[in-house]
Amino acid sequence: MRKNLLLILAMLCTIVANAQFTFSGTVLTTTGAPVVGQTVWVMSDSSRGWSGTTHGAFFSTSAVTNSTGAYTVTMPSTTLSGHPIWASTVNCTGGSPATLSNLHTYAGVNITSNFTKCVPPPPATISGQITHNSTGAANAKVYLIAKSPDSIWVGTTVVFTWKLTALDSALTNSSGNYSMTYPTSRPDSLLVKAALLPASSNYSSYLPTYHTSSLIWSGATTIAPGGTGSITRNIALIGGTNPGGPGFIGGSVVLGANKSTAAGDPLPGRLIILTNASNQAVAYTYSNASGQFSFNVPYGSYKIFGDVMGKTSAPLSFTLSTAMPSASAIKFEEKALTFDAKMTTGIAGVATQTAGIFPNPAKNNISITGLTGNATVTVYDVMGKVVATHAVSASNNEVNIANLPTGNYVLKLATASDVTTVKLVKE
């Protein structure tokens, strides 16, 4: 009997000596939420005097947390009492310390090791409200633009300039609110610009506007480099006042010298801005696929300029009147540093020495004189409304005006590369 008891005791001791115990726990956030898919590493800790002879074989293993934030690893059966163990997992981005660590000493029983992981703060934002006439502007787009110093070669001279780069954009909600992530680790200043989308019923009435209240980038209020906290940038869109009228303004946008592609090529999508002589906004438009643009306005004094990122644009001033009802030969040239307008003479497809209409005044038909190519004739009444459109050419240059009421009209002659206007009196 005694012999049998000793044998059973020896067997039990052997089982205990070779038993495998677990190392388990949870990874939760500081708010108590489980962290799913988090890797936890568990290994022998050589920095705390681990010895293979004394503590058993070195081990290193890992586990991934489940849907409740729990993990479990099984320690090797060779692990002996006193075995130093180090468990670790990464903290949240920006958390301190970057790695969470727990130290344990094996004592022949299961070990529980829990971690609390920080919750990173939400990213800083640039947000605000876009309004027109104190009302939230739905159907608007907000642009975030980086402004950084730059220099370019102009001929043999290095010239200082500004480089503007689009970083991000956001659409406004039904209340005109927007939000964008604040860029981190940036050396550049920032500009915020807002513009209505074509779907907006107020699209033609409010001009693209920079914060705080500028029509052009060089007058915008910048956000200084650095900074990490959220900021607010509200923009009240600048309204234009243009009831339309008999005056006509038109021209083209072309590539100027000091550019890498062919000078004179038409440039679409360039923003053209019109103000009165007192710098009050009147209207805006973008150059079309052929680089052309136009406005119908009342008689008066105006300034025209553009807004092209990184380029200055000096205003061009002129006056429309009954004696000079149109300014139809304005040409914007986009160069390396500038986007300036000038008045030009002559249009492609029309011989400048004979261009015009005959007879004038007229009752039934007029002829477009001096054509050397195809052109489109658009007839406007004194309110700036289009009342007729005709296609003409050098061989077919007659336009029937018999159905027009008696009065004054403006005819716009447009070729593939330019436009001009002529005043017509219908008898």
Tell me how far apart the alpha carbons of residues 381 and 307 are, in angstroms, rounded to a whole number.
30
pLDDT of 412 strictly over 90: no
Tell me how far apart the alpha carbons of residues 276 and 318 are, in angstroms, rounded to a whole number.
10
Q: Is residue 349 part of a domain?
A: no
pLDDT in tens, 94-136: 889 999 999 999 999 999 999 999 998 888 999 999 999 999 9
Residue where a domain terminates, one of 219, 239, 259: 239
Tell me how far apart the alpha carbons of residues 268 and 290 are, in angstroms, rounded to a whole number.
6
Least confident of 152-156, 215-219, 232-236: 152-156
pLDDT of 347 strictly over 80: no
Together in a domain, 154 and 47: no
187 CB-side CA count, 13 A: 4
Query: Quick one: average pLDDT of 374-383?
Result: 80
Together in a domain, 92 and 59: yes
- Please report, for the domain that includes residue 166, its CATH number: 2.60.40.1120
pLDDT of 5 strictly over 80: no
pLDDT in tens, 48-89: 999 999 999 999 999 999 999 999 999 999 999 999 999 999
pLDDT of 286 strictly over 70: yes
pLDDT of 357 strictly over 90: no
Residue where a domain terminates, one of 117, 144, 174: 117
Q: Strands 365-369 and 271-276: what pairing?
A: unpaired
Together in a domain, 234 and 128: yes
Q: Is residue 74 part of a domain?
A: yes
Q: Is residue 380 part of a domain?
A: yes
pLDDT confidence of residue 353: 32
pLDDT confidence of residue 19: 67
pLDDT confidence of residue 28: 97
Would you place residue 183 in the very low, low, confident or very high pLDDT band (cuts 50, 70, 90)?
confident
Query: Quick one: average pLDDT of 16-29?
Result: 84
For the chain, give the percent of residues with pLDDT over 90. Answer: 59
Together in a domain, 179 and 235: yes
pLDDT confidence of residue 262: 55
C-alpha angle with apex 267: 261 to 270, nearest 5 degrees?
130
Together in a domain, 71 and 27: yes
pLDDT in tens, 149-180: 888 877 778 888 889 999 999 999 999 999 99
pTM equals: 0.66
pLDDT confidence of residue 352: 37
For the chain, give the percent of residues with pLDDT over 70. Answer: 88
The letter for the amino acid at 303 is K
Tell me how far apart the alpha carbons of residues 119 and 30 are, in angstroms, rounded to a whole number.
7
The alpha carbon dihedral of 193, 197, 198, 204 has a sign of: negative
Mean pLDDT of the chain: 87
222 touches 178 (CB < 8 A): no
Would you place residue 37 in the very low, low, confident or very high pLDDT band (cuts 50, 70, 90)?
very high
Nearest to residue 115, comparing CAs of 208, 186, 35, 54?
Answer: 35
pLDDT of 6 strictly over 70: no
pLDDT confidence of residue 1: 53
The letter for the amino acid at 64 is V
Tell me how far apart the alpha carbons of residues 38 and 115 are, in angstroms, rounded to a whole number.
11
Together in a domain, 227 and 272: no
Nearest to residue 212, comparing CAs of 191, 187, 181, 195?
Answer: 191
- Please report, for the domain that includes residue 280, its CATH number: 2.60.40.10
pLDDT confidence of residue 12: 45
- Please report, for the domain that includes residue 26, its CATH number: 2.60.40.180
In this structure, which long-range contacts are made by residues 165-169, counting pairs with CB atoms below 8 Å and at least 24 apart in sequence?
166/309, 168/143, 168/144, 169/141, 169/142, 169/143, 169/144
Tell me how far apart the alpha carbons of residues 416 and 427 are, in angstroms, rounded to a whole number.
31
Query: Quick one: average pLDDT of 351-379?
Result: 75
Would you place residue 384 in the very low, low, confident or very high pLDDT band (cuts 50, 70, 90)?
low
Q: Is residue 351 part of a domain?
A: no
Query: Quick one: average pLDDT of 207-222?
Result: 96
Together in a domain, 202 and 261: no
pLDDT confidence of residue 153: 77
Tell me how far apart the alpha carbons of residues 190 and 177 are, in angstroms, rounded to a whole number.
19
Residue where a domain terminates, one of 76, 91, 117: 117
Tell me how far apart the alpha carbons of residues 184 and 146 are, in angstroms, rounded to a whole number.
12
Together in a domain, 131 and 221: yes
pLDDT confidence of residue 4: 55
pLDDT confidence of residue 351: 35
pLDDT confidence of residue 346: 40
- Number of structural domains (the chain) is 4
Range(s) of the domain holding residue 362: 356-426
Q: If you count DSSP H runs as helices and E runs as strands, how many of each does the chain have, helices first?
A: 2, 34
Query: Quick one: average pLDDT of 309-332?
Result: 89
